[in-house]
Amino acid sequence: MQDTYIREKQNENNKTIEKGEEKLKEANWDIQKQLKQGQEQVHQLISQADKQLHENPWPVVAGVAVSCLFLGFIVGTGRSRN
């Protein structure tokens, strides 16, 4: 009587473990799929940015120049007060 009860519980536990393992495999597959899609999107964005930069680099050059000028102004103003 107790042996059959123990076997039934072991079978239930094994089924539960198998279901959990299957769900983990599915989750892992979904994560791998999303990771692959993310990598492809990043590659496309980088390619697009590289293409646009090569076609028209002047907005980037101007942005860097203005940023450096602004940063120099901030640093220079801080030193002249001391």
What pLDDT does 56 receive?
93
Residue 77 pLDDT class (50, 70, 90 cuts):
confident
Its pTM stands at 0.55
pLDDT digits (tens, 9 = 90+) for 24-76: 999 999 999 999 999 999 999 999 999 999 999 999 999 999 999 999 999 98
Q: Is the pLDDT of residue 78 over 80?
A: no
Length of the chain: 82
What pLDDT does 2 receive?
79
Residue 82 pLDDT class (50, 70, 90 cuts):
low
